[in-house]
Each structure stands twice: as C-alpha cells, then as structure tokens.
Amino acid sequence: MIAFPRHTARPARPGPRLRHHSATSVTRGSQPARPTSERESLHGVRQIVRFNWPFYLCSVTLIVVTPAVAEWFRAGALTTLIVSTATALTALWTIGSLAASWMVYDRSPLMNVEWVADALGFRPRTWINIHAGFDETTALLQRVFDGTCGRAFDIFDPAEMPEPSIARARRLCEGTTPSEPVDFRHLPVMDTTVDAVMLLLSAHELRTDDARCALLGEIRRALTEGGRVVVAEHLRDVANFAAFGPGFLHFHSHPTWTRGFARAGLAVHREFSITPFVHVFVLEKNA
C-alpha cells in the first residue's frame, strides 16, 4: 500500500483562482489531457455518441422507419397519433441529449476542472481522482494542483457497473492518464491522509445505495480533518428529463445523493450547478 504523508488539510479560505500550470505527472508516462479550450470542436458530443451509439442508432431508425411503417399499413387515426407522438418525442430527446451534451462537455467549464480548486476552497497537498475507467480529468487536475501529490483510482467493477456504455468507453479511451485499479470497498490509502477527493461524473455508475455508501465510507476514512470531497453528477430531475428523456433514470435524485452522503458520515458543505444539467456537491466529514 502506498501511503500519503500524514498532515491536516488547510482550512477553507477565500482567495484567487489557482493558476493553470504546466503538468506534473503523478504517474510516469502519462499523457496530459488537453484543456477545454484546446479540445477539438464537438469533442464531448462525439464521445457521447461513440459510447452510446446503439441508442442513437435505434433512435434514428425509429424516427425514420416507424412513420413509414404506419403509412404502409394505413394505420387508423388513433394509431397514427400515437406513432406521431412517439416519433416526435424520440426526435426531441435525441436532439436534446446531443444539445445538452454539447453544452456540458464542450461549452461549460466542467471539463476544464479549474473550478474544482474554487469548490474546495483550499489547495490540497494530497488528492485522489476516482473514475470508472474513462478518465479525461486527472492530467488536468495535475496542472491545476501542480507540485502536489495526486493519484488516480479506477473503481470499475463489472458486477456493480453493468452498463454496456462503460465497457465501450473503456475500450475506446486513448491517451488518458494511467490509473490504479482499486476495489471501491477498500481504497489503498491510510486513514486521514487525503486532503481532497474528486468524483466527477463517476459515482452514479455504482448502481446500488450500498455500493455508493461503501465507496463514500472509504473516502471519509481517508479524509484528513478539514478535507473535502467534490462530487459532480447529473441528477434525476426535470432539466435532465427534458434533455435525456427516459435516459434520466440512469441518474440519481438529489435526495438519494444527500441520504447516501449522510449515511456515509459526510455533510454537504456547499452545492451549486454547472449548467442546468450538472450539479456539484462539496462534502466534508460530519462533526
């Protein structure tokens, strides 16, 4: 087990945004990710389509074929109305999901990750970035927290994360920072040795409350006094339903998250949104 040095996190304080520095690799041989401003046009949207192409293929097929089939069989008025409504909703949610993905991953500050420093309120000396196998943020965090000690943990567990899109993303991802495969139930860090933990669009991949609480409990164990956790997630709410339709059921509701945090002994220090589609919780240990 590799241990972080023991120390106490610096207390939160107001201050200027941490500047962007040249990358200092945590893992040898890593390839720094590009800042958001250098990402190719529609990079995020293309990634979403690549990882979820069966959904988009089915959607386009339904939009094109269903009305033609209804016309061929000369469906009645009621059937035509149902078919037309279903086709319109499918088209709306297909376009809406791409528009929301463009807003979140290509236009918002989310993938820049400099906002993480402001969310924490202090500069951590030790930190962990936890993901489920597709990691575009660790190298950027290395730049933001230049000169600090950081590690990237891959918590992918096929039994707990059955979504085909995750396996597809793991196969297709290239040039990301090498990570340590870990058991989310037993993180390989000593107690009270980590100042900051980042869970950026990854914790929802654990589909059960027990699994998420196991991870959050391990994170609490590892946190220093004054340490914090940054959790960024889509929520199961009106905005994400409008954008993703039934796909919003893949996300968890705000009450589900807050109950899980409390169960793991973590309190919400602050929360805010990045676009209407992504919500951020900043957590610390319960007193």
CA-based diameter of the chain, in Å? 74
- CB contact at 8 A, 111 and 39: yes
Q: How does pLDDT run across 253-285, given as a tens digit for each residue? A: 999 999 999 999 999 999 999 999 999 999 999
Rounded to whole angstroms, the Cα distance separating 235 from 244 reads 11
**Averaged pLDDT, 151-164:** 84
Looking at residue 44, its pLDDT comes to 64
Across 88-92, 154-158, 164-168, 191-195, least confident range: 164-168
- CB contact at 8 A, 229 and 199: yes
Q: Could you tell me the pTM of the whole model?
A: 0.76
- CB contact at 8 A, 120 and 2: no
How sure is the predictor about 21, in pLDDT bands with cuts at 50, 70 and 90?
very low
Sorted by where each begins, the domain ranges of the chain are 43-107, 109-285
The separation between CA 103 and the C-alpha centre of its own chain, rounded to angstroms, equals: 15
Q: In the CATH scheme, what is the code of domain 109-285?
A: 3.40.50.150
Q: How does pLDDT run across 33-87, given as a tens digit for each residue? A: 344 445 566 776 777 667 666 777 787 777 777 777 767 666 677 776 777 787 7
Across 44-53, 139-148, 194-203, 219-228, least confident range: 44-53
**Averaged pLDDT, 25-34:** 34
Amino acid identity, residue 15? G
